[in-house]
Amino acid sequence: MFKLDDNLLRELGLGDLPAQEKNTMLRHIYETLEMRVGMKLAEQMTNEQLDEFEGYIDKNDEAGALKWLETNFPNYKDVVASELESLKNEIKSSASQILEASQAAMQQQPPQQQPPAA
């Protein structure tokens, strides 16, 4: 379907982030995407469907939740793709500010202490 990895960050203009910040950004993208897709799908669900789906989520049954989505919302992958594109566009438009903030934070950190020479 899609991968949240270094290639995505390069596509978004964030390939120069430090490794730790890349991981943080990928986690943020995943969590934001998950929330937005969930909200879009919830808008289309009946109360009964919402209760049923939440049951899978509450049990941390990802496989069950995925199967339920495939059965009840066969177009859910389209929702994911659409929300991912929106999120990517938002991030691309802010990429330079994100990189600048990252560089500023790096410059404010105290230098690493070097161990004494033996």
Asked if residue 107 is part of any domain, the answer here is no
Asked if residue 77 is part of any domain, the answer here is yes
Region 82-94: what's the mean pLDDT? 96
Asked if residue 103 is part of any domain, the answer here is no
Asked if residue 26 is part of any domain, the answer here is yes
Which position has the token pair 């991030």? 91
Asked if residue 31 is part of any domain, the answer here is yes
Distance CA 88, CA 58 (A): 29
Torsion angle (degrees, nearest 10) of CA 58, 64, 66, 69:
-90
111, pLDDT greater than 80: no
Asked if residue 81 is part of any domain, the answer here is yes
46, pLDDT greater than 90: yes
pLDDT of residue 114: 54
Look at 3-7, 60-64, 110-114 and tell me which has the smallest mean pLDDT. Answer: 110-114
Asked if residue 106 is part of any domain, the answer here is no
Distance CA 66, CA 73 (A): 10
Q: For residue 60, give its domain range.
A: 6-95
Q: How confident is the model at residue 105 (pLDDT cuts 50, 70, 90)?
A: confident
113, pLDDT greater than 60: no
Look at 22-26, 83-87, 99-103, 107-111 and tell me which has the smallest mean pLDDT. Answer: 107-111
**Tally of domains within the chain:** 1
Distance CA 105, CA 99 (A): 10
Distance CA 101, CA 23 (A): 16
Asked if residue 34 is part of any domain, the answer here is yes
